[in-house]
Structure 1
Amino acid sequence: MATETARSKRWLAHPFMSAIIAVSWLLLQQSFAVPQLITATVLALLLPRVLAGFLGPQVKVSSWATVVRFAGIVLWDIVVSNITVAKIVLNPAREPQPAWVPVSLDIRHPNGIALLATIITTTPGTVSCVIDEDRHEILVHALDCSDPAAMAQDIKNRYERPLREIFE
């Protein structure tokens, strides 16, 4: 606990988050002018420090190559899912088969589980509804799913496996 408190007192308690905050600010402002650079720096230093008690310990990423590859997979899946959902919605003759899909979780890292739930919810056509910590399971609602077992296996292979590489 003492080291966690000491870490939260450091100016760069969460350096990766600081970088994301600074870059996000500059992108939102669409400017690299000196005032925007100063504001980005101040926000990047202060926000993680102020929020350190809520953020928990800093995450140590074990494989940056996996992070980059995984980001590409997730972005691709979001694009493909948008097209698929648009086809379902725009075709009145198409009758989707909604399903509840339980996905057993092998990942135990809380940030990995939260990121998995976020990815599932961000991908059109699916929503993560419940994370059952006792049963190590996440319940996913799919807009159109003819084979729940295959969908669960796909989630495990495409998302959970890389997240385990990154977080564990």
Structure 2
Amino acid sequence: MTRMFRWLIPHPFLTLLLAIVWILLQNEFSAGMAVFGVILGVLIPLGSSVWWPDRPTRFHMGKMLRYSLIVMWDIVVANVQVAWVVLTVPNSKLTPAWIVIPLDLVSPEAITLLAGTITLTPGTVSADLSDEGHSLLVHVLHTDDPDGVRDDIKTRYEARLKEIFA
């Protein structure tokens, strides 16, 4: 049964995510649209599974939900901080920085989530991943402490992603 389930739904999280997104994109909820969302959620990962041969074998959904809440909170806080910087700090006083974040993550999915998290948070952008995948280049709009930003990203996001994909 498990083997057949893995064949039919190779990426359960992606299946669930696609179905939910499809349902949320509809103007009105109906049973037909929900069923169609589930069908899309099964067919798209099934059709693309050949390009995911090394998918993560372990994924902790509870930790991912906590991580998502932390990221949403950080986005709200960063919006306020960036608005404050834009409204109060003259352009000549801005101190942007390029920061290299050494990565302990090895999973491409975890690295992608980290880069996406950084980019989603206002005031920071993931600009480049090293060829070997050992470091991430991040641009920060305004900081007096680049090392503190690096340490914050590593402890607040990367450490949690290591637990999620452990």
TM-score bucket of the superposed structures, by smaller chain? 0.7 to 0.9
What is the count of residue pairs matched by the alignment? 162
* Matched residue SS, 1:146: coil
Q: Work out which of the residue numbers 121, 135, 138 in structure 2 matches 1:137.
A: 135
How far the C-alpha of 1:133 sits from its partner, in A, is 4.3
> What's 2:106 paired with?
108
Distance, in Å, in 1 between the alignment partners of 2:132 and 2:56 is: 23
Q: Greater shift after overlay, 135-144 or 114-123?
A: 135-144
Distance, in Å, in 1 between the alignment partners of 2:86 and 2:76 is: 16
* Matched residue SS, 1:10: helix
Once the two structures are superposed, the pairs formed by residues 33-52 of structure 1 within 5 Å of their partners are: 33-52=30-49
- Calculate the aligned-residue CA RMSD, in Å: 2.2
Once the two structures are superposed, the pairs formed by residues 53-68 of structure 1 within 5 Å of their partners are: 53-68=50-65
For 1:144, give the aligned amino acid: H
Identity in percent = 37
Residues 1:90 and 2:87 are matched in the alignment: yes
Structure 2 unaligned residues grouped into runs of 5+: none
> What's 2:155 paired with?
157
Distance, in Å, in 2 between the alignment partners of 1:117 and 1:93 is: 28
1:39 to 1:65, Cα distance in 2 relative to 1, 3 A: closer
Structure 1 unaligned residues grouped into runs of 5+: 1-5
For 1:23, give the aligned amino acid: I
- Alignment deviations for residues 48-95 of structure 1 (CA, whole Å, 9 cap, x no partner): 111212344443444333222211111111111111111122236363
Distance, in Å, in 1 between the alignment partners of 2:40 and 2:141 is: 39
* Matched residue SS, 1:101: strand
Task: State the TM-score, normalized to the length of structure 1.
Answer: 0.86
Task: State the TM-score, normalized to the length of structure 2.
Answer: 0.87
